[in-house]
Amino acid sequence: MISRKVAVIGAGAAGLVASRELRREGHEVVVFERSDRIGGTWVYNSNIESDPLGLDPSRAIVHSSLYESLRTNLPREVMGFRDYPFVAQVNDDRDPRRFPHHTEVLHYLVDFANHFGLIELILFETEVIYVGLLEEEEELKNNWVVKFRKKGEVDGSSVAHEVFDAVVVCSGHYTHPNIAEIPGIAAWPGKQLHSHNYRVPEPFSGQVVLVIGNRASAADISKEIFTVAKEVHVASRSTMNVSPTQRFGNNNVRHHPLVKCANEDGTVVFHDGSLVRVDAIVQCTGYKYYFPFLEISDTVTVDDNCVGPLYQHIFPPVLAPGLSFIGIPWMALPFPTFELQSKWVAGVLSGRVSLPYKDKMIEDVAAFYFQLKEAAIPKRYAHFLGEKQFDYADWLAAESGCQPLEEWRKEMAKERDRNATTRPESYRDEWEDEDLIVQAHEDFSQYLPAELCGQDKQT
C-alpha cells in the first residue's frame, strides 16, 4: 500500500476520526487546528460575534454555535464512533444522561483523541489560509501546498507553507450563518440575530420574539425563550398554508407560515396575511458551506449551498484523490458517517480501494444533479440524506471493506425520530427502546472494559 503525506484541516469530530483512519492506513498525518483545543463546534464559547447576524466579513469569527443549555438530540449509543463507544462515565464532571449536555460530547472527543494518540498530530492555533495545487515543478504537479500562520500573526512574512500529497477538508459548516431575506427588514426597528450567536434566553425577557426555522435548534431555542418572553412566534416553511397554532403546549407560542415582509412600524407579516408586532427576530436558518482557503480555480464551487461537483459528497472528480471533504452531508448520524467517509478516503489514498475513472465520477455527479432537478429539489438539499443515510453508510462500508452499520444503530435512530415526533417535549428523557440499548451494549462489550459495559443502560 502507498503511504502519503496528508494534511487534515480541522480537529473537530470529523478531523479527529479522519486523522485516526489515515494513520491506521499508514499515512503521515498533519492536522491544522486554528483554536487552542480540539472539538470544533463542540467547544462552547459564551462570547458572540460583533455582528449578531454574521454578515460583516470583518467581524471576529466565533467558531462555536452552541447555546449554553444544548443537549444532544441523538442518544449517545448512536452518536459514538463504532469501535470507541460513547458510554456514560460516572465522574463528577460528566453527564451520564442518554441525551447528554454538550460538555459531555467534548469530553468524549477529548477521550477519543487521547486514546488513539491523536494530539501529537495537531498543530494548534494554526490557521490555514491557502490550499492549492503545486504546479511549479512537473514532478510535483499533483501535490498540494498548504499555507498557514500561527494565531495572532498577520504580516506576510509570518506565513509558512508545506507540501502534501493530499488534503482532507474537515473544517465543518456551522460557523457562517445562512440568513433569510425578508423584504422591508432594513426599515424594521427591532433587533435580529442568528442562532449561531444565541447563548441564553435572558436578553429576550418580556419581549415578543419571532423564531424563524423548523429544525432542532429552532425547537430548542423557541422552548427556551418562551420561559422568559412575553410571546414567542415560530415561522417555518413546513406551515406555509397552515393557520397559526399553539406549539409546545404553551399559550405564549404560536406557529406561522414563512415571513412575507417586515414593516417600519415593527410588525412582521406572514404569508397567510396575519401580522404580529415583534421586538426581536432569531433566525435559525442554517449555515453556509464556506472554504475561503481553497484556491482551485473554481473547480469546486458552492452554488445555492451545494458544494460541487463532489462524487459521493467527498471527492471532486478532477482533483481526486488529492482533495476530499469529510462531513458535508447533513441530516445523518454525524460521527459514524464521518468515520465511514474517513475509512473510504484513507483506503483510496493508500491504493487499497479504487475510485472509478474520472469520467465515470463526473457522469455520476451529473446524473445526481439531474435527478434533483427532475424531482424539483433545490440544489441546497443536495447534501441532505435523511432516509437515504443508511444506504449511503452501507455503500461507504462496502467500498471501504468494513462491516455495515449495526442494525441496532439504524433502528435506534429511527426510533429516536418517532419518539421525537410524538414526544417533542420529553423524548430526551423518556423512551421505549430498551431492547436496542441492550443490543448496543452487547456490541460495545468487545471494545470496553467489563466495568463500563451496561452501566448506563437505564440512565
Measure the N-to-C terminal CA separation of the chain; round to a whole number of Å.
45
Same domain for 59 and 25: yes
Provide the pLDDT for residue 127. Answer: 95
Residue numbers of the domain that contains 141: 5-175+287-400
- For all residues of the chain together, what is the average pLDDT? 91
Q: Beta partners for 164?
A: 144
Is pLDDT at 137 greater than 60 in this prediction? no
Helix locations, 29-147, DSSP H: 76-79, 102-115
| CATH number, domain containing residue 250 | 3.50.50.60
Q: How many domains does the chain have?
A: 2
| Contact by Cβ (8 Å): 207, 279 | yes
Domain annotation covers residue 459: no
- Among 111, 86, 114, 110, smallest CA distance to 100 is for 86
- pLDDT tens per residue, range 293-329: 998 768 999 999 999 999 999 999 999 999 999 999 9
Taking the C-alpha atoms of residue 318 and residue 301, their distance in angstroms, rounded to an integer, is 13
Same domain for 91 and 41: yes
Given 229, 250, 283, the domain boundary residue is 283
Question: pTM of the full predicted structure?
Answer: 0.93
Same domain for 369 and 329: yes
Say how far residue 394 (Cα) sits from the centre of its chain: 20
Same domain for 127 and 43: yes
- Write the Ramachandran bin of 37: left for phi over 0, alpha for psi from -120 to 50, otherwise beta: beta
Task: Using only the alpha carbons of the chain, give its radius of gyration.
Answer: 23
Taking the C-alpha atoms of residue 168 and residue 159, their distance in angstroms, rounded to an integer, is 20
Same domain for 20 and 118: yes
Q: Considering all CA atoms of the chain, what is the largest pairwise distance in Å, rounded to the nearest integer? A: 69
- Among 259, 286, 283, 285, smallest CA distance to 273 is for 259
CA of 404: how far to CAs of 22, 66, 339, in Å? 19, 31, 12
- The one-letter code for the residue type at 18 is A
Provide the pLDDT for residue 301. Answer: 93
Given 228, 248, 283, the domain boundary residue is 283
Same domain for 387 and 272: no
Same domain for 122 and 56: yes
pLDDT band at 373 (very low <50, low <70, confident <90, very high): very high
Same domain for 129 and 55: yes
| Percent of the chain with pLDDT strictly greater than 70 | 92
Q: Beta partners for 208?
A: 231
